[in-house]
């Protein structure tokens, strides 16, 4: 493919990635939000990254966590262009300096954890970019195509449903310091060891969630994505009686803005994320850059953190996205032929239903019981006999009258 043509495809197919399959990979990285559009039917996409992260918690006597976080996402489009299923998860290797004790005591250890795993479905239920009146190209004016219109503020929208699965009680409620808050049993040599801050309320393994993803495109280069999620904290059997499940539910909001540079292979992004539950809340800021290696591959670099000290959080992440493309394009002629075939099939089914009704009625008449038929025939024959008798009686009376008249004349 010619380099100029490829750049054109990157710019207009990459940014205006409608519900249909696109020529260029449509990755959710380097951010954490979900775009409104799916990857396309028979497209498998793998998005992964590795982070170096540092956390320090002032309320837990400056306990620290340092380590690596390997995260991965699998996305697959099936049934139609609007639907995809995804698996999102991570594996963490970290070193914990636990200072959360009353006495001059600490622990320092390293561990590897399989983090929260997420399975979900995303379905595009509204796509304004299919409306040619709103988003059609103006062939007479280049400037008109680059102006922000009121219709640009109407986003594409997808519904997202799924569930989080947490198989490890060392990270719960999105709190990396959850393990540091757990009660400890005094060891044999230090009977007086006590926690400064103590909390242990286990999270359910299963946490269903629902969400909405919206996506706007502005001036051919800007993409704005919003995500709204509500994760239900199911009531655990070990919760105290006065604790409602809703108290442990999580509200999560993400705002992502992406700008495509003059070289359409490069883009920059910024993201804000806030989440809140009874155990842990935070506001995170992320910034990064992405590069399209080819139409099926992307690399990215991003960094960010939080501004508070409970905990302070910084990270740097390098990522890679790869698409495995088995999508088959359908031409407009094939779509029209398919539509006509479906219409014809519907009409045939209607005719079959009508014929079935007629056959049922006729079969009822044919399948009437012999006794009933015999009774009907007997009734008919009796009626005909009675009718003929009445006619004979009438005729006999007429003949008798005529005979009397003849006798009188004689």
Q: How much is the average pLDDT of 162-191?
A: 77
From its phi and psi, is residue 219 left (phi > 0), alpha (psi between -120 and 50) or beta?
A: left
Q: How much is the average pLDDT of 293-298?
A: 93
Closest CA relative to residue 83, chosen from 113, 53, 41: 41
Are residue 205 and residue 351 in the same domain, yes or no? Answer: no
Are residue 315 and residue 356 in the same domain, yes or no? Answer: no
Q: Which residues contact 342 (CB under 8 A, 6 or more apart)?
A: none
pLDDT at 1: 47
104 has a pLDDT exceeding 70 = yes
Domain boundary among 273, 299, 328: 328
Domain boundary among 328, 353, 378: 328
Tell me the pLDDT tens digit for each residue of 202-234.
Answer: 777 888 999 999 998 887 788 999 999 999 877
Are residue 350 and residue 277 in the same domain, yes or no? Answer: no
The CATH number linked to 233 is 2.40.160.40
Q: In sequence order, what E strands does 133-249 have? A: 156-165, 206-218, 222-231
Are residue 344 and residue 399 in the same domain, yes or no? Answer: no
Domain total in the chain? 3
Report the C-alpha gap between 47 and 39 in whole angstroms. Answer: 12
288 has a pLDDT exceeding 90 = yes
Are residue 223 and residue 166 in the same domain, yes or no? Answer: yes
Report the C-alpha gap between 208 and 226 in whole angstroms. Answer: 20
**Beta partners for residue 124, in sequence order:** 158
pLDDT at 398: 76
Domain boundary among 298, 328, 358: 328
Of the ranges 63-77, 328-342, 354-368, the best mean pLDDT one: 63-77
Closest CA relative to residue 27, chosen from 315, 258, 219, 303: 258
Are residue 249 and residue 392 in the same domain, yes or no? Answer: no
Inter-residue contact 267 to 290 (CB < 8 Å)? yes
Count of beta carbons in the 10 Å neighbourhood of residue 115: 19
Are residue 173 and residue 190 in the same domain, yes or no? Answer: yes
pLDDT at 83: 93
Are residue 224 and residue 312 in the same domain, yes or no? Answer: yes
Are residue 345 and residue 335 in the same domain, yes or no? Answer: yes
Are residue 197 and residue 335 in the same domain, yes or no? Answer: no
Report the C-alpha gap between 409 and 318 in whole angstroms. Answer: 135
Report the C-alpha gap between 280 and 274 in whole angstroms. Answer: 11
Report the C-alpha gap between 78 and 89 in whole angstroms. Answer: 21
Q: Is 96 exposed, middle or buried (0-12, 13-18, 19+ CB in 10 A)?
A: buried
Look at 166 and 242; give whichever has higher pLDDT: 166
Confidence label for 54 from pLDDT (cuts 50, 70 and 90): very high
Range of the domain at 354: 330-367
Are residue 237 and residue 160 in the same domain, yes or no? Answer: yes
Please provide the average confidence, as pLDDT, over all residues in the chain: 81
Q: What percent of the chain has pLDDT over 90?
A: 39
pLDDT at 20: 59
10 has a pLDDT exceeding 50 = no
pLDDT at 393: 75
Closest CA relative to residue 83, chosen from 125, 29, 48, 119: 125
Confidence label for 370 from pLDDT (cuts 50, 70 and 90): low
Tell me the pLDDT tens digit for each residue of 374-393.
Answer: 777 777 777 777 777 777 77
Report the C-alpha gap between 213 and 215 in whole angstroms. Answer: 7
Are residue 345 and residue 223 in the same domain, yes or no? Answer: no
């Amino acid at each position: 493919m010619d380099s100029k043509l490829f750049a054109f495809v990157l710019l207009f197919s990459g940014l205006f990635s409608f519900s249909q399959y696109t020529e260029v990979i449509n990755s959710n990285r380097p951010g954490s939000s979900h775009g409104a559009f799916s990857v396309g039917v028979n497209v498998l996409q793998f998005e992964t990254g590795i982070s170096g992260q540092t956390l320090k918690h002032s309320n837990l006597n400056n306990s620290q966590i340092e380590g690596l976080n390997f995260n991965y996402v699998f996305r697959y489009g099936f049934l139609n262009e609007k639907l995809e299923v995804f698996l999102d998860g991570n594996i963490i290797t970290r070193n914990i300096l636990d200072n959360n004790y009353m006495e001059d005591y600490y622990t320092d250890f390293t561990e590897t954890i399989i983090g929260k795993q997420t399975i979900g479905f995303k379905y595009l239920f509204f796509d304004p970019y299919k409306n040619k009146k709103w988003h059609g190209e103006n062939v007479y004016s280049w400037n008109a195509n680059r102006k922000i219109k009121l219709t640009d503020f109407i986003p594409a929208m997808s519904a997202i449903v799924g569930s989080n699965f947490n198989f490890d009680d060392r990270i719960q409620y999105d709190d990396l310091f959850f393990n540091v808050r757990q009660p400890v049993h005094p060891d044999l040599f230090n009977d007086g060891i006590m926690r400064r801050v103590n909390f242990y309320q286990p999270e359910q393994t299963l946490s269903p969630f629902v969400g909405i993803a919206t996506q706007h495109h502005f001036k051919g280069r800007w993409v704005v994505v919003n995500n709204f999620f509500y994760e239900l904290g199911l009531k655990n059997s070990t919760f105290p009686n006065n604790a409602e499940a809703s108290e442990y539910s999580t509200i999560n909001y993400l705002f992502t803005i992406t700008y495509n540079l003059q070289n359409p292979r490069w883009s920059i992004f910024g993201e804000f994320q806030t989440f809140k539950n009874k155990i842990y809340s935070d506001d995170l800021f992320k910034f990064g850059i992405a590069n399209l290696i080819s139409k099926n591959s992307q690399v990215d670099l991003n960094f960010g953190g939080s501004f508070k000290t409970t905990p302070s959080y910084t990270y740097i992440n390098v990522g890679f996205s790869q698409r495995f493309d088995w999508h088959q394009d359908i031409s407009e002629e094939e779509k029209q032929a398919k539509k006509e075939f479906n219409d014809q099939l519907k009409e045939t089914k209607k005719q079959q239903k009508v014929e079935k009704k007629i056959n049922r009625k006729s079969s009822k008449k044919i399948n009437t019981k012999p006794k009933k038929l015999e009774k009907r025939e007997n009734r008919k024959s009796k009626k005909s006999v009675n009718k003929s008798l009445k006619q004979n009686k009438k005729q006999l009376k007429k003949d008798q009258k005529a005979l009397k008249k003849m006798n009188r004349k004689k």
